[in-house]
Amino acid sequence: MKAAVITGISGQLGPVWCETLKEMEYSTFGIDLPTFDIRTLADLTCARDECERLFGVPEILVLNAAVDNPPGSGASFFGNFDSITDVNQTGAINCLRVFLPDMIKLRRGIIILIGSIQGFIGADWRNYEGDFEKPVAYNMSKAAYMQLARSLTVQYGRYGIRACCIAFGPYDGGKIPKEFLGKFLQNVPMRRAVSKESLKAAMRFAVSCPEFAGQTVLVDGGYVAL
């Protein structure tokens, strides 16, 4: 079986990616705390060695791990900037530094960055209760993924490696505050949040379409079409 590495495997979206890739007959290897910290190159090197011992060089790297402050957490606009950036941006680059060289030797690979609608828009404060402010570091990191997908594809496409970004509006996984979701969906033309099946469909497309490279797909029910 072919291998896929997924960071942030225990988060809200990680299990969905794991399930989808297993259905596509990939062996999956998860990277997450407390076993592996993507902020630490030594941890990632251990993870790579263990993955390759079990399954061989992974053909897919899903950069899913991210720090966010959801509604109700008392976050502020500039809050947690360093800690969010350390995981969402530096952590992603660390993963690439460790896993990309063996993909180049293999001369094939797919790097899938998990983006967000927040990479396309400024978070609308009117959707939130109280004094909550969406941290700008999160939004910046998700916008950066789109440029990273372009840059990786242009640089490493000659080695059979492509990068892409799949981004989403709010996922209705049962953890979104009802107040926020109700306000947000008023401006979504389809009037519904992103479903698990839509997440899985986007992942299948990212894996299965050989020429989907250097670009981003946004699944948001039409929110940014307004």
What DSSP assignment string belongs to 58-83? -SEEEE-------TTS---TTTTHHH
Give domain status of residue 226, yes or no: no
**Measured distance between the N- and C-terminal CA atoms of the chain, rounded to whole angstroms:** 43
pLDDT under 50: residue ranges of the chain: none
The H or E element that residue 28 is part of is strand 26-31
Domain residues for the domain of 61 are 2-220
Report the pLDDT value the prediction gives residue 72, as an integer from 0 to 100.
Answer: 66
Return the beta strands (E) in 71-184 as ranges: 109-114, 161-168
Two tokens at 8? 């942030």
- Within-domain flag for 225: no
Would you state the pLDDT for residue 149? 98
Q: Number of C-alpha atoms within 13 angstroms, CB side, residue 12?
A: 16
- The CA distance from 68 to 75, in Å, is 9
Structure token digits, residue 20: 């989808």
How many Cα neighbours within 13 Å face the side chain of 6?
22
- In this structure, what token pair is assigned to residue 129? 């209760």
Say how far apart CA 144 and CA 127 lie, in whole Å. 24
d(CA 226, CA 216): 19
Q: What integer pLDDT is reported at residue 172 of this predicted model?
A: 83
Alpha-carbon distance of 156 to 171, in angstroms, equals 32
CB 112 within 8 A of CB 166: yes
pTM exceeding 0.85: yes
Say which CATH number the domain at 156 has: 3.40.50.720
Instruction: Please check whether residue 159 lies inside any domain of the structure.
Output: yes
131, exposed or middle or buried, with CB in 10 Å at 0-12, 13-18, 19+? exposed
pLDDT at 73: 73
Report residue 200 as tokens. Answer: 């899985």
The residue type of 102 is D
- For 211, phi then psi, to 5°, come to -100, 10
10 assigned to some structural domain: yes
pLDDT at 108: 97
In a domain, 199, yes or no: yes
Residue 91 lies in a domain: yes
Q: What is the number of structural domains in the chain?
A: 1
